[in-house]
Amino acid sequence: MSLKVGAHVSVSGGVEKAVERQKEIGGNCGQIFAGSPRTWSVAEYTDEEGESFQNGTRDEGQNPYVIHSTYLVNLGTPKDDLFEKSLNCLQSELDAAEKLGVEYVVFHPGAHTGSGRKNGIQRIAEGIDELNIPEGVTLLLENTAGKGTTLGRSFGELREMIEKSSTPEKKLGVCLDTCHAHAAGYELREKEGFQDMIQEIEEDLGLEKVKVLHLNDSKNEKGSEKDNHQHIGEGNIGEKGFKNLVNSEKFEQLPMVLETPVTDEKGYSENLAKIKKLKN
């Protein structure tokens, strides 16, 4: 079975340009931002733009797509103003996904910033329930590296957020980021450790909840809690880790999205080629 693998591409110059950029690097699924990732602004797309993007992705066989939420979103915050801003931003991104025919919106759950783990998780669940998740769109919580008061480093914590929410479970899922998992202490390189991670996902979350994979190698050691992405096979996860992943029957049908570095020497096309080469 051929892999569903693509990369996070720019929408600069118009959202339909993302389809061309994905084609250039050899991707058959992908991820975009619906605005500037370091601001609260989210683009409002016209019906024409939505149609153009959907036609493009269909014609090129690129599916599914993911919208990655802005980095400012924090549903775990005890601060009401930041909570409201986060909700408004996420809602705009969900609405953009509906317009563009994008299946998934992924966000980092957030940090409790001192209010405590229990309160932070409860706050995230309450935030999810405030959102209107459109038909055909699934909201995904991304696992985190676990630094500071960040929530969502374990699959059990992600499950708690989903369970405490009263939003229908079919509207919610998880995006598994390899660099974050490695930074949080999960073993991807050794067969036994990798199987332990799979078992934890099965027991603490449910494998059916994982809808998308973010493939990123890591510049740091396992358990470092540092989120520094590296080219596939050149970091501390290494080729062995990604070989385990792309050949795992548990994950092989999932869309895999690269967020690896883009430099003058190497970009997404080389990283995509490396992933395809690791598939048995």
Active site residues: 38, 68, 71, 108, 142, 177, 180, 214, 227, 229, 259
Structure tokens at 2: 């051929």
**Residues in a beta bridge with 35:** 42
Cα–Cα distance list, 172 to 142, 197, 206, 212 (Å): 11, 21, 12, 12
Kindly provide the residue ranges of all beta strands, DSSP E only, lying in the chain, ordered along the sequence: 5-8, 30-32, 65-68, 104-107, 138-142, 172-177, 210-215, 217-218, 229-230, 256-258
Can you read off the two tokens belonging to residue 111? 């940090």
How far is the C-alpha of 33 from the C-alpha of 42, rounded, in Å? Answer: 9
